[in-house]
Structure 1
Amino acid sequence: MKIAGCNFKHLLKTYAVWITIVILAVSCASKKDKTSERDQVYFTNPIFDEGPDPFVYLHSDGFYYCMVTRGDRLTLWKTNNFTQLRTAESKDIWFPPEAGPNSCCIWAPEIHYINDEWYVYYSACDANNAGDHSRYVFVLHNKSTDPMVDSWEDLGKIDTEFPGIDGNVFHYKNDLYFMYSPYIGNQSGIMIAKMKSPVEIETPATLLGLPLHDWEKTGDREIMEGPQFLEGPEDKIFIIYSAGACWDDNYGLGLLSADKDANLLDSSSWSRSDHQVFEQCQDSSVFGPGHNCFTKSPDGKDDWIVYHAKAASSDQCAGRSTRAQKFTWFKGEPKFGKPYSTKTKLSFP
């Protein structure tokens, strides 16, 4: 049989050859794409474009649970690589009521797993009576094993002596502690207390310090905030705090240190650094780095600091993006180095 002067069997063979070539080409392209993805072991900051006050928690299930300030809601991200937040699974887990003490200005959320249950601590104030005088730390509770499950319950505010923000909870030597930044006059300091439960603190709390150094002061506001506990590899423990104001380029990190066997509730146990331990780097176009948290690489070997910063000098809090970088230790103390440029390639955790 002839078709257009060609042998039919020869035509079928020709088609088969072309189909095989196309399949091989597609397969090779697919393999190349997968290889390219596998070979991509670097990231650049920021890891999230609008991400003030970041918090990253590595859970026993191997996932990181991440939160940032969104102002009008609480959102939770779940990922196995916290440097890839843009593509991570996310869910809005709570919206504030229209009225009441926690009805606006939802700031600085942190997620914690305590006694096999989930808690989120966040700052908020009353929309009808807004201001620092009505700003407190509040808590949500979730009994589900999966915090992405929509069963969060509002448990109200932590009953602190002063209004304040940036509640942080940590375990140390079988005790549960609560820290926050109280408003005392025109100052914000660091206070610490033991907790009776994840929602109740023992009183009185201890004031660990109020602003002292010039870099802890911005105009008429003197601020120490965002306290985070950090246990060193040798004989020291640390509280890393943010100092200055978020609208100030000089916003950065200070350090309190104490012996591991010290009484954490005794203010005399703590020594304060006389300089910032993490600060702006104009050469890298990083301004106002602060309000950090700490986490580990998935294998637990490397320490990471996650923080927010601005890419341009300004007198505003706007433009704070989430960034991350690995840090090291020297003679038992954390060494954070300089904040990296957004052009610097960093290895994945």
Structure 2
Amino acid sequence: MSKTFVNPLLVHGADPWMYKHEDGSYYFMVTRRNRLDLWRSDNITNIANGDKKTIWIPEETGINSNNLWAPEIHYINKKWYVYYTANDGGGDSTRKIFVLENEEEDPFEGTWTDKGFINTEYAGLDGTVFEHMGSLFFLYAGYGHFPEYGSAIYMAKMINPWTLEGENVLLSAPTDPWELQGGMAINEGPVILKNNGKIFLVFSASTCWSDDYSLGLLTCSEQDNLMNPKSWIKTESPVFQKSLENEVFGPGHNSFVKSPDGKEDWIIYHAISVSGAGSAHRSTRAQKFGWDEQGNPDFGIPVPIDQPIDVPSGE
């Protein structure tokens, strides 16, 4: 008889980021608003009961003192980095993405050094990084065309893990009806997924408090120029969205990890269990996904909470 688990992994867990390290450990972060917490476990499904540490508490005032959102931990050039959104308590125009660095092998040890904010062209949120062919790239949701729409996905090259160089290229703007739900036009929460010679940029669309928050997809060949917006093809409809039958609303803002044995792909995302309940009720969920015949991700339908799911292989 197979071992199972049920969602949610964390009842109060918005904007979940999970990262599988080279030693097999899983690291996990969610929006905590007034601090940055880091979890660690040797598996996916018990992450909320793993080691936990508050790694950063901001000053009471200042440019990064309020609204700490969507933290992500990354391991780059044998150092740990955490990217998070924050502002001074004001509006969207003061929102920036900040970077912390830790040189210790164990991110639960050592000192997290404030590297300041990323020099993005626009105010914004939801910063993430990825490496491709020896170069480092930065993605974020920027307010570059406000008030036409709330946020769009931009990309820039990086000199180092805390500094951008050159143009911030617009890759995706919210123009279709499924990206305009909840009262604002939103593309946010970019994350990269690679498979079969393709690079996929998965993003969240519409407002996070809407039942219709969902995931969109851009696809690029790994041989193409990533900084050319024409290299990216946008799927015309959501690739992961609400399920009325399963009572899952507003699924989005996700990350991706491999199972402990590396054989399965899992999406870690937040969703809401009651229609109209809003962003305060976002919880972290996990489910396995597959690939179609063309090598594109097939995320399926979000599963109900409390439904037994086979644990990731190797767990």
Q: TM-score band (shorter)? A: over 0.9
* Contact 2:182 2:210 (C-alpha < 8 Å) held by counterparts: no
Q: Deviations over 1:259-315 (max 9, x none)?
A: 120100000111111110000001111000000011101111111100000010115
1: CA distance, partners of 2:181 / 2:245: 22
* Contact 1:77 1:89 (C-alpha < 8 Å) held by counterparts: yes
Match of 1:109 among 71, 78, 81: 71
Q: Deviations over 1:6-29 (max 9, x none)?
A: xxxxxxxxxxxxxxxxxxxxxxxx
The yes-or-no answer on 1:295 pairing with 2:295 is no
Gaps of 5+ in 1: 1-38
2: CA distance, partners of 1:219 / 1:344: 28
2: CA distance, partners of 1:63 / 1:340: 25
2: CA distance, partners of 1:345 / 1:219: 31
Question: Where does residue 207 of structure 1 map in the other structure?
Answer: 170
The yes-or-no answer on 1:123 pairing with 2:85 is yes
The amino acid that maps onto 1:162 is Y
Residue 85 of structure 1, CA deviation: 2.3
2: CA distance, partners of 1:121 / 1:146: 17
The yes-or-no answer on 1:327 pairing with 2:289 is yes
Residue 174 of structure 1, CA deviation: 1.1
Alpha carbons of structure 1 residues 170 and 73: separation in structure 2 relative to 1, 3 Å: same
Question: Where does residue 222 of structure 1 map in the other structure?
Answer: 185
Question: Where does residue 146 of structure 1 map in the other structure?
Answer: 106
SS in 1 for 2:45: helix
Identity, % of aligned pairs?
47
* Contact 1:189 1:224 (C-alpha < 8 Å) held by counterparts: yes
Q: Find runs of 4+ consecutive structure 1 residues off by over 2 angstroms.
A: none
* Contact 2:182 2:209 (C-alpha < 8 Å) held by counterparts: no
Map 1:172-251 onto structure 2 (within 5 A).
172-183=132-143, 184-186=145-147, 187=149, 188-218=151-181, 220-232=183-195, 234-251=196-213
The amino acid that maps onto 2:163 is E
Alpha carbons of structure 1 residues 42 and 219: separation in structure 2 relative to 1, 3 Å: closer
Residue 161 of structure 1, CA deviation: 0.6
The yes-or-no answer on 1:59 pairing with 2:21 is yes
The yes-or-no answer on 1:274 pairing with 2:233 is no
* Contact 2:2 2:310 (C-alpha < 8 Å) held by counterparts: no
Residue 220 of structure 1, CA deviation: 4.3
The amino acid that maps onto 1:194 is K
SS in 1 for 2:106: coil
Residue 343 of structure 1, CA deviation: 2.8
The amino acid that maps onto 1:193 is A
* Contact 2:39 2:48 (C-alpha < 8 Å) held by counterparts: no
The yes-or-no answer on 1:163 pairing with 2:123 is yes
Bigger helix share? 1
1: CA distance, partners of 2:48 / 2:183: 37
Residue 218 of structure 1, CA deviation: 2.6
Residue 83 of structure 1, CA deviation: 1.1
* Contact 2:169 2:227 (C-alpha < 8 Å) held by counterparts: yes
Aligned length: 308
Alpha carbons of structure 1 residues 264 and 283: separation in structure 2 relative to 1, 3 Å: same
The yes-or-no answer on 1:69 pairing with 2:27 is no
Question: Where does residue 27 of structure 1 map in the other structure?
Answer: none
1: CA distance, partners of 2:85 / 2:27: 18
* Contact 1:93 1:150 (C-alpha < 8 Å) held by counterparts: no
The amino acid that maps onto 1:296 is K
Residue 150 of structure 1, CA deviation: 4.5
Residue 40 of structure 1, CA deviation: 7.1
